[in-house]
A and B are shown apart, each in its own frame.
Chain A
């Protein structure tokens, strides 16, 4: 296989630009992985950094206790469980997560005001994924 130096140079450039420790690039039959040793304290990808700031400035996240499909209302076309700006109480249903034909009501874990809703109606979600933020 002939190694394309240009690609490696380009990838190294991205590593530095975004302060990453590793980058992988695949193109049809070719796959190139470039990694570098960097100072431990700086290994935080740009994306993670961004997410953290959202969470911190907006309050506490309520996460999904189960993997499945999220629904924001009890049935199609009905009023949503919560809206941004609405006051919520601990124990109140915020979304339904459908897993294996079972509808699981996810209760709010905090008292406060809904500052952000992270999930869309009908979206597949994972265990531990933030659903809403409460201030």
Chain B
């Protein structure tokens, strides 16, 4: 097992990883920026080290500083968490070259799955259904026209190196195609230094469903699916498992095909394969080669500590789990509590938390990094904690989540707690009659 793990992250996920390390008796190192000195992850870790200023480029994204921190503290493994450097294959390469273990898959697989055109090609080759569209980079307007008329408008132009909606263009008809294509290429070049774009069929009312995977080079198991269709600005807000819209036959097909694909990848660690689901069919979207924000949903439903499993696989190269070790129980819902004002189009709401009371009770879990008096700075992501509740069935899970939201008190900043109460009480959520575009259309305020 590792002698010391450096956690190259901050906030709730850093706290989550430190907790797993403590239970495994592995000493931890927290790295932090100069505005995070008083943060929870710094307080909980065995050692901490300041690696730069408030700007992420100077601290949490600064590979040189992080490698120096590894050197100074004598850590022999790095857990990257999510965001920041977690999907940077260049970082994984440097870590490995320095004989430090990167807790995650190989740099080679990260690179392969990080490029969207390449990932789609790989997924298709390994038996997953993909969204109809171009096989690769679009080279000319003629090619774009031909492909678009074949699949029918509207279509979506996406950047191969893209993410977060940047460089993504919705094209409603052929007239718009010329303009949108050059705009998408320009944006892709600007943001990702790679002007490759591809075209896909656009779905008006899709759901977002993903499969949690744990794998070593010989065994791949799944931990069920998560339905993450409640989204704001293309970002997930509520996740649940199982998906209330999947028929049992489709679910088994989805899980089996995903396991088959990942087992052929030679994948090591935890990962998530994301799908778009529409009208009874699922299509591969992308693969995230890291731990995800919503991993507790699967942990609770499947009864396995995913972060500990990541560390064990990284340390021994093997998973001790078999598919039959995973038994799913009940229904789990997670609400992301963000420091933002949902009544003002999710405007960020940094500040000091003056009063903080977090819910507890039967089958209620809160993963966070907040406490009374802590400062929520404007320099990082707005996610401050997550509420995860389990019920025997979906109805009980909703009731328990509502009960826990009612108990939650956070004063001094505005959060999404109030919006969650409204969503969970909404007829459309209760009937599971929604898609990824629902939140932007519904008036909650």
Contact = CB atoms under 8 A, between A and B. Distances in A.
Interface in B313-353: 339-340, 346-348, 350
Contacts of A98: 378
A100 B55 contact: no
B203 interface: no
Nearest to A97: B378
Interface stretch (A25-33, A65-73, A108-116): A65-73
Interface string A112-124: 0000000000101
Given A100-B340, A100-B350, A124-B54, A68 B378 contact: yes
How large, as a class, is the contact surface on chain A?
A: 10 to 19
B164 to A, nearest CB: 9
Contacts of A124: 54, 379
B380 interface: yes
A8 interface: no
Contact of B380 (A67, A101, A104): A101
A100 B54 contact: no
Contacts of A69: 54-55, 378-379
Given A66-B378, A67-B378, A69-B55, A99 B348 contact: yes
Interface string B367-392: 00000000000111110000000000
A99 B382 CA distance: 9
A75 interface: yes
Given A67-B350, A122-B55, A100 B381 contact: yes
Interface of A: 66-69, 75, 98-102, 104, 122, 124
15 contacts: A66-B347, A66-B348, A67-B378, A68-B350, A68-B378, A69-B54, A69-B55, A69-B378, A99-B348, A100-B348, A100-B382, A101-B380, A102-B347, A104-B347, A124-B54
Which 4 pairs across A and B sit closest by C-beta, in order of nearness? A99-B378, A100-B348, A100-B382, A99-B348
